[in-house]
Structure 1
Amino acid sequence: MIALLSALLQGCALPSLEGRSESHALKRAETADTALGRALMPQAQARPGLSGILPLADARDAFAARVLLVRAAERTLDVQYYIWREDITGNLLLDALSEAAERGVRVRLLLDDNGVSMDAKLLALDRHPAIEVRLFNPFSVRRPKALGYLTHFSRANRRMHNKALIADGQAAIMGGRNVGDEYFGATDGVLFADLDVLATGAVLPELSADFDRYWASASAYPIDRIVAPEGTAPAPVPHAEDDPRAARYLQALRESRFVADLLAGGHLPQWARVDMVSDDPRKGLGLAEKEDLLTHQLQQVLARPPVASLDLVSPYFVPTAAGVDVFSRLAARGVRVRILTNALEATDVSAVHSGYARYRKDLLRAGVELHEMRRGAQPQGGGAGVFGSSGSSLHAKTFAIDGQRVFVGSMNFDPRSAHLNTELGFIIDSPVLAQAVTQAFDRDIPASAYEVKLDEGGGLVWTERRDGQTLRHKREPGSTLVRSVWIGLLSVLPIEWLL
């Protein structure tokens, strides 16, 4: 048994990174003559130190904006994601990257290996001379990958959760969305209500430098050192547009006015000071220093605590005892603290819900207002709110402070984001964007979420506003006896640090 285990561990060892190619992001001055550079650099130069930020709340607009940037790129595309599905939108975006490479654009694609399952397709892309694919914290055993959690749990449990797409060093999309149909409104199943921002200006060099350090990190492995080719001939990369479902989705995108309005200047960005916060990629190996973690950077940037309001949105919300203490002290000072997370019926991770549920009563007793997004909720009036027009599950990660500053990024408010996964985000000094989050709590969220309160006896009550009526639920919506027992069991297990 010992000999077999030893052989298994040796077989799961990762290859050497010696001789790995080196590359760097181009400086903005080097891409000033590109289409994006000619369109965006004069605006940025007229506003030194500021960044242009355009929120992307609508799911299809968010995908259209990505395709637009990829098609507009002339020199480089740096792309970094946690999950990339092999579905309609995933294949369409891979097609767009392949077409960009055919135009001579250098494409660097960095994916977390836990979130992809299309080895042959990625290996085929990597064979293009203009495309290089790397996997973050890869699994040496490809089938089943889960074996890596048994042999190298400490490393395999740390994932790259960052999401960014940078075109010519001039424009980027950063936020909460992964690449998959459920994030871009291309499925009749689960649809995540999410939030990205399209950015240009002063923050771009910092974002490009951050991509460089992940690309060159000790966790980023060239895919051809991890994935063995199947057969002698390169696997062909199928064209996504051959799928009739993709054709229908593309037609819906063509009917959208977003891209046309964006190119015509109809979607003008907000220009604001932006601070980028990002984990040191060494966090993926458990080697990052405290001062190099995103949570520490947030404390430095947000040195002055909220004085009037804190509106926080996190789909996976596990405050821990320390977080409850922070929120309680804010509420005791008169700060209005409002939190939106997924209801049990809307969450896709029951274990995380168990980590949240155990703290609900403590938060409510302290004066914190709790809202839980209903499954398949529609914003008031059916319009597009700050988190999109609809969604069966919340996925946006944002918070607004005093209606003046807003965070948008990949980080959930949970121990996993704080201590295990690497994360990326922007803190934006924009009253317009911050107040949009605040207004969502005032207007949209009451119509699409349960408000959780304590009744006279100290029990939980879920209040729902629907069709002009107010409904009160004394039993948690979406719960069953089996599910309640399961969540109750999870809530007492010592697994909070994993959530």
Structure 2
Amino acid sequence: MAGGVAARLTGGLLALLLAGCASLPTARHDAAAAIAASARATTVDCARDDACALDSPLLAMARDALAQSRPQAPRHRALILDDGPDALLARVHLIRSARRSIELQTYIFDEDDAAQLVLDELQAAAFRGVKVRLLIDQLAALRKVETLAALSALHSNFEIRVYNPVLDRARLSGPMYAVAALCCLRRLNRRMHNKLLVIDDELGIIGGRNYQDDYYDWGEDFNFRDRDLLIAGPVAASMRANFDAFWNDRRSVPAERIGDVARYLRSHGPPPAPHHPYRRPQRVRALLADVADPLVMRMRFVDPALEVRGVRFLGDLPGKHRGEDADGGAATASAATGTGGTGDSLLGLIEGAQREILLQTPYLVLSKPAQHLFRALHRRDDPPQVLVSTNSLASTDAFIAYAVSYKYKRRYLRDFGFRIHEFKPFPADAPFEIGATGAGLETGDDSAALAPEATLDATTAGTTRRERRLAARGLTTEPGSEAGRPSPFASSGGLPVRLKSAGLRIGLHAKSLVIDARIGVVGTHNFDPRGEALNTESAVVIEDPAFAAALAASIRRDMAPGNAWTIARRDPSPILPRIEYHLARLSERMPIFDLWPVKYATSYDYSVGPGCPATDQPQDPFAPDFRRCNRPVGDFPEVDLGLKWLGVRVFTAFGSGLAPIL
């Protein structure tokens, strides 16, 4: 009996492997492509030369910068986008303002409210005469094959490609993902993590945000504290050139030529243009009310923008995934793109630091070169201070990555001199408006009152409040965060751990760097092994003190005592403290069986009281009087110690070998 079951399982797995390795013959791909091409609309809704674009103060700012630029003296304007709804508002406004071209490159593109809004605007832009190119990574492609089929047949001005589609599929089910992990793990692991939006080669947005509710404060249970950079001026052309390199790479496959999409087109024909009803139409309406208001757009995005110098774009190229460079990166790029390897360039900036490094990353898991660099910096006679803003276990969506970080806290503090501040799940002072989530709004079908370019419906009728809350977190389908996307190692499912208190939780997702109060970096790189060796990444570097000061203030805000716990050495044991320290260090050095239960460091919280006034300054864990105002709150504050906590300890003990791919 047991042998028969094993045989059936083996046979089933073999069938999946064979099916996964099979692909449509080229003729069938061609037939599907012909079906999509013949269905595409060719007429446009606007006869004006500017494609009926919205008059935009933002693009006017960009055109002014370009007009004032000279080859040896480029002019740029830059604005940090900390606020989630503003980051979405800027995107929608810019898409409506495009006259010639839109390039959008991203890792995650969901089909929830925020993503659907952007998708609606991209479709409308194509129909009014703008060339739209959408490039998405396979692992985070749109949820439905029908959506990809519809977009592939939408309009001659709209093109969509999927990067690195493994097993000739745009969408991988759970079983097929397992097949891909078994047969093609090396290829499966190489992902396009870049995130760009470029409008008319004049203005771009780069940063950590994907296209999903959680990145724009529209999630009802969980949102990301993230950051984008809006940059206007000549560097937008470099961003466009980098996009072109990916778009023209053989790994970027037109959606209609991928097996599952092609089969759908051949079997069913092109479906109607995709528009999923909005779950919270009121919040979409509220955002759209500001899109065409020049006073609002000028006040939020133009007036606060800084005139900056020393701007350059860093971008990996698809050659990173072909192993064309000796170090595994994309250090050598074509002259047309003007870009270089992102990871090596960022390490070079850090190596040049003299006084202070502010590093913000959601996952504090360092590559070997980064570890060597920080160790060397700390050994200098006068080392720079290194302040790190990262997630706590209570705020992260990736507890496996946190477990590896937890394992090396002693190394980070003692060997690298890091001053680590772990983000709280309920920060006291974060750039976040609870009203933006739509929480508490009644969802009725009042779409008739909306502007014709954004018809809204409600789909929550007949669902329970729990179902709606789960849907808001994407739990009815699949996890939505970057770390939570399908992975053979993501046993956490990408979901946060359970906490002692209920509430709207925030997790850190921003990726930024400030060097010596004069260089600021905003991009997609998590400063981790995956970003260095497996993912392609991009960033904008601005060598300008005023910009660096603004970015530093934003990062320090996330490290303030009300928003973060400080990691410091725990009080030594009263019994044989030196022996305990050496046992813990020996256990940490073990790649597996790191079983010593007491770690070198723990979390501290600032306590306001006599002699300890309220402060927004990050605490120095190495200060002699640190413990006067800071009290230990345990290794995992706010966490309801359950199975996820056990998982952290298990991965701390046995999972360090996963660090290069987390």
The aligned residue for residue 132 of structure 1 is 159
Distance 1:137 1:353 in 2: 28
Distance 1:404 1:246 in 2: 43
Q: 1:391 to 1:43 in 2, by over 3 A?
A: farther
Distance 2:238 2:303 in 1: 27
Residue identity matched to 1:232: H
Shift of 1:151: 2.5
Distance 2:288 2:505 in 1: 18
Distance 1:314 1:208 in 2: 26
Preserved contact between residue 328 and residue 363 of structure 1 (Cα < 8 Å) = no
Residue identity matched to 2:601: L
Residue 399 of structure 1 aligns to a residue in which SS?
A: strand
Is 1:57 the counterpart of 2:70? The answer is no
The aligned residue for residue 140 of structure 2 is 115
Residue identity matched to 1:160: M
Work out which of the residue numbers 329, 335, 356 in structure 1 matches 2:405: 356
Shift of 1:308: 0.3
Q: 1:253 to 1:331 in 2, by over 3 A?
A: farther
TM-score by length of 1: 0.88
Residue 393 of structure 1 aligns to a residue in which SS?
A: strand
Is 1:404 the counterpart of 2:510? The answer is no
TM-score by length of 2: 0.67
Alignment of 1:26-425 (within 5 A): 39-47=61-69, 48-116=73-141, 117-127=143-153, 128-139=155-166, 140-141=168-169, 142-144=171-173, 145-146=176-177, 147-226=179-258, 227-228=261-262, 229=264, 231-239=267-275, 242-243=277-278, 245-252=280-287, 254=289, 260-263=295-298, 265-290=302-327, 291-292=331-332, 293-299=341-347, 302=349, 305-333=352-380, 334-366=383-415, 367-379=417-429, 392-425=506-539
Q: Which moved more, 1:347-356 or 1:465-474?
A: 465-474
Distance 1:239 1:438 in 2: 40
Alignment of 1:469-484 (within 5 A): 470-477=630-637, 478=639, 480=641, 482-484=643-645
Q: 1:267 to 1:256 in 2, by over 3 A?
A: farther
Distance 2:156 2:18 in 1: 36
Residue 485 of structure 1 aligns to a residue in which SS?
A: helix
Aligned residues: 485
Residue identity matched to 1:298: L
Q: Segments of 4+ in structure 1 off by > 4 A?
A: 1-6, 12-21, 33-39, 255-259, 285-289, 382-385, 388-391, 440-444, 466-471
Q: 1:251 to 1:317 in 2, by over 3 A?
A: same
Q: 1:244 to 1:461 in 2, by over 3 A?
A: closer
Shift of 1:384: 6.6
> What is the Cα-based RMSD across aligned positions, in Å?
3.3
The aligned residue for residue 455 of structure 1 is 570
Which deviations, in whole Å up to 9, do the C-alpha atoms of 1:403-435 show, x marking residues without a partner? Answer: 000111001011111100111111111212222
Alignment of 1:2-17 (within 5 A): 4=15, 7-8=18-19, 10-11=21-22
Distance 2:292 2:224 in 1: 22
Which deviations, in whole Å up to 9, do the C-alpha atoms of 1:213-265 show, x marking residues without a partner? Answer: 0000121000001113254342223545x535033333156369997333464
Gaps (5+ residues) in structure 1?
22-29
Residue 222 of structure 2 aligns to a residue in which SS?
A: coil
Which deviations, in whole Å up to 9, do the C-alpha atoms of 1:26-83 show, x marking residues without a partner? Answer: xxxx99x986665522323324323221111100000000001100011111110000
Distance 2:556 2:347 in 1: 27
Distance 1:53 1:408 in 2: 11
Shift of 1:289: 4.8
Preserved contact between residue 83 and residue 431 of structure 2 (Cα < 8 Å) = no
Is 1:434 the counterpart of 2:548? The answer is yes
Residue identity matched to 2:286: Q
Q: 1:15 to 1:311 in 2, by over 3 A?
A: farther
Q: 1:112 to 1:466 in 2, by over 3 A?
A: farther
| Structure whose residues are more often strand by fraction | 1
Distance 2:147 2:399 in 1: 32
Gaps (5+ residues) in structure 2?
1-10, 35-48, 333-340, 438-503, 573-580, 582-599, 609-613, 615-628
Residue 174 of structure 1 aligns to a residue in which SS?
A: strand
Preserved contact between residue 109 and residue 212 of structure 2 (Cα < 8 Å) = yes
Preserved contact between residue 113 and residue 279 of structure 2 (Cα < 8 Å) = no
Distance 1:217 1:282 in 2: 9
Which deviations, in whole Å up to 9, do the C-alpha atoms of 1:153-192 show, x marking residues without a partner? Answer: 1111111000011111111111110000000111212110
The percent of aligned pairs where both chains have the same amino acid is 27
